[in-house]
């Protein structure tokens, strides 16, 4: 194994590599890196034994230099136009996903019409969230290399449990751009429970409440014999401590009769107020009052007023906790431990409200800012082969399936399915001689694909021409440990095969994801009726095609009366199919089936008789 040396004169690391795998918490407000040393995980401190947190802020100087962390945070006030923060909120998103949240950012978020992925404008240049996140990861990589005295190239990076496929892929791409081989994407709540060593204890069910600067998620995990199984997740990537800060700023503007439009246009003052609000929030975790001024603006607020402002946000997180328990089919009393993650959980109202909801004291002994990175370092240690008694099982946040006849969603992987997973189903063609079949992949809970989110599509080409219903096409969904989806389609008779890795350029906002789940519940009865009608119509189409073929092939053995009755019943079925009454369609299907069944038997007897003519049995 090659070793490293640090060139003390230049402060550079010599080109010797080790197999050290690092754990990274790429956060909305702060990021940090951790590593296991002497069997224990520890967050890496900066030069001069500074704090472990690296503000997730990037500054672009006029000379083209890029700085990250504390140095960039210092530029928020003096050069806000060229300083980017909370970029994690934009990972894997389109402009459509974030346009309602534009006011939350102090910089220009745009859609340049060349890609679906949202971009951030800095001067005359445009950057993707992936490129900006890569700068933060480069800074963390440099920090740990200086600490260890060796170059590192492998990492485990954590993401919110509610991150979808696109957001996970964007995180992996950012790591690659930063020169890191991302061995695993791990859910933040799973990492937090690893940090508390809960995998080494008796079987238990825990809740991980993660409220950071810009994202919130709640996860219910079952842990037994070192196996971490995520039972359910819920959350919102546009809910966090940033919202607390903004509420304080709005309170001050109202208190001082300031025009919000004027403040938003004055980037310098806007950033001053935002940073002062963050300072007030931290101060009020222990103090009853905060009193300061910014440019003669009275920036005072009491803890009671602050708690009144943030109560709606905290209640929203409790609603998510309630839904996560419901999805896991558990009661509050089934939860043995509640782990608090994220700097925003230091707010007393948050801690007390969560404790009251779960009816127990919360776990917050480890630094809530560091706990996820420590867990990521432990998972990195597992991957390095130093721990063999831990296995992580995560889940899919929404159902995955394909479009079938009539625009129906056929679910192949239901939501809350454990990953990694492989699931498949067989399909066939609906038209004689069909040579190509389009496979359209959707994500969502509704029965019609038009109400769900399209992830991608591909065409299985070269199917040998056969009668409708004869080809056997197997469609498989394969989701790896990082939640990345691959879809394969294969015609079993001809061995023709096609596959696609679903990497959409943008994802579903958590607000939209929650909306989709709510709509699936609200419209369940209506969707069932629509599905039943479409399924009846699909069967009717198939029967009409079969009837037409049957009449052509058996013209000589059918009487004129039998032909006329079959045509009449087919006409009645066609008429019913054009209506909205599924029962009428099913009745017409039953009528034509009952009449043509004896005719089909006669046709079969004739075919067998001709096939056996001149042969001995």
Under 8 Å CB-to-CB from 435, ≥6 apart: which residues? 461, 462, 463, 464, 465
- How many whole angstroms separate alpha carbon 558 and alpha carbon 606? 12
Write down the catalytic residue from 145, 165, 173, 188.
188
Give, for 187, the enclosing helix (H) or strand (E): strand 181-187
265: Cβ contacts below 8 Å, ≥ 6 apart: none
Residue 394 catalytic?
Answer: no
CA distance 165 to 503: 7
Q: Which residues of 41-63 are buried (b: 16+ CB within 10 A; e: fewer)?
A: bbbbebeeeeebbbbbbbbbeee
In sequence order, what are the residues at sequence separation of 6 or more whose Cβ sits closer than 8 angstroms to the Cβ of residue 391? 226, 227, 228
| Cβ-contact 88, 215 below 8 angstroms | yes
State yes or no: is 25 an active-site residue: yes
Residue 88 a catalytic site member: yes
Q: Are 112 and 126 in contact (CB under 8 A)?
A: yes
Element (H, E) at 51: none
Q: What DSSP state is assigned to residue 595?
A: H
Give the β-pairing of 40-43 and 30-37.
antiparallel
CB atoms within 10 A of CB 617: 3
90: left (phi over 0), alpha (psi -120 to 50) or beta: alpha
User: Is residue 555 annotated as a catalytic residue, yes or no?
Assistant: no
3 state DSSP class of 583: helix
- CA dihedral over 81, 85, 91, 96, signed as positive or negative: negative
Distance CA 572, CA 566 (A): 10
- Is there a contact between 321 and 218 (Cβ–Cβ < 8 Å)? yes
Report yes or no: 84 and 107 within 8 Å, Cβ to Cβ.
yes
| Alpha-carbon distance values, 317 to 239, 353, 357 (Å) | 9, 10, 11
What is the rounded end-to-end Cα distance, in angstroms, of the chain? 76
How many whole angstroms separate alpha carbon 157 and alpha carbon 170? 12
Q: Distances in Å between the alpha carbon of 161 and those of 181, 482, 568?
A: 21, 11, 58
- Beta-sheet strand order (sheet of 421-427): 421-427, 473-479, 485-491, 496-502
As annotated, the active-site residues are 25, 88, 188, 210
């Amino acid at each position: 194994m090659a070793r490293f040396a640090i060139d003390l004169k230049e402060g550079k690391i010599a080109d010797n590599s080790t197999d050290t795998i690092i754990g990274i918490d790429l956060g909305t407000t702060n990021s940090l890196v951790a590593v296991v040393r002497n069997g224990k995980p520890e967050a890496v401190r900066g030069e001069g034994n500074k704090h472990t947190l690296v503000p997730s802020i990037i500054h672009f100087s006029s000379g083209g230099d890029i700085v990250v962390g504390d140095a960039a945070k210092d530029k928020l006030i003096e050069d806000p136009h060229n300083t980017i923060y909370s970029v994690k909120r934009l990972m894997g998103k389109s402009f459509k996903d974030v346009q309602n949240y534009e006011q939350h950012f102090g910089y220009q978020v745009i859609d340049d019409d060349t890609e679906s992925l949202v971009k951030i404008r800095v001067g005359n240049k445009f950057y993707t969230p992936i490129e900006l996140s890569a700068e933060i990861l480069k800074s963390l990589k440099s920090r740990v290399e200086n600490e260890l005295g060796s170059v590192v190239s492998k990492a485990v990076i954590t993401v919110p449990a509610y991150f979808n496929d696109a957001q996970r892929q964007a995180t992996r791409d950012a790591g690659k751009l930063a020169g890191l081989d991302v061995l695993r994407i791990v859910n933040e709540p799973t990492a937090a429970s690893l940090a508390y060593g809960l995998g080494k204890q008796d079987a238990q069910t825990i809740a991980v409440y993660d409220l950071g600067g810009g994202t919130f998620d709640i996860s219910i995990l079952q842990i037994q014999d070192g196996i971490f199984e995520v039972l359910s997740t819920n959350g919102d990537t546009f809910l966090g401590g940033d919202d607390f800060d903004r509420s304080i700023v709005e309170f001050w503007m109202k208190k001082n009769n300031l025009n919000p439009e004027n403040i938003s246009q004055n980037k310098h003052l806007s950033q001053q107020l935002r940073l002062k609000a963050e300072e007030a929030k931290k101060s009020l975790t222990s103090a009853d009052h905060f009193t300061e001024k910014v440019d003669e603006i009275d920036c005072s607020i009491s803890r009671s007023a602050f708690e009144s402002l943030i109560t709606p946000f905290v209640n929203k997180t409790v609603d998510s906790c309630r839904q996560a328990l419901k999805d896991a089919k558990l009661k509050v009393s089934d939860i043995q431990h509640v782990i608090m993650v994220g700097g925003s959980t230091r707010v007393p109202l948050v801690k007390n409200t969560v404790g009251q909801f779960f009816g127990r004291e919360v776990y917050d002994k480890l630094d809530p800012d560091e706990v996820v990175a420590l867990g990521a370092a432990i998972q990195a240690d597992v991957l390095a082969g130093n721990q063999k008694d831990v296995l992580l099982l995560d889940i899919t946040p929404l159902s995955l399936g394909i479009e079938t006849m009539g625009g129906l969603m056929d679910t192949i992987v239901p939501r809350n399915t454990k990953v990694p997973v492989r699931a498949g189903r067989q399909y066939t063609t609906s038209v004689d001689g069909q040579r190509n079949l389009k496979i359209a992949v959707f994500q969502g809970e509704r029965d019609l694909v038009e109400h769900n989110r399209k992830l991608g599509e591909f065409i299985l080409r070269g199917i040998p021409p056969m009668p409708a219903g004869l080809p056997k096409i197997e469609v498989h969904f394969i989701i790896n440990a990082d939640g990345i989806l691959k879809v394969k389609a294969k015609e079993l008779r001809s061995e023709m095969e096609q596959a696609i890795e679903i990497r959409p350029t943008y994802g579903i906002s958590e607000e939209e994801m929650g909306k989709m789940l709510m709509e699936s519940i609200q419209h369940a009865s209506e969707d069932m009726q629509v599905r039943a009608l479409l399924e009846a119509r699909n069967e009717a189409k198939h029967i009409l095609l079969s009837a037409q073929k049957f009449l052509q092939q058996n013209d000589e053995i059918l009487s004129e009366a039998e032909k006329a009755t079959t045509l009449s019943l087919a006409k009645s079925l066609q008429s019913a199919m054009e209506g909205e009454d599924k029962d009428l369609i099913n009745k017409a299907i039953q009528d034509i089936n009952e009449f043509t069944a004896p005719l089909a038997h006669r046709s079969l007897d004739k075919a067998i008789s001709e096939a056996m003519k001149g042969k001995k049995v």
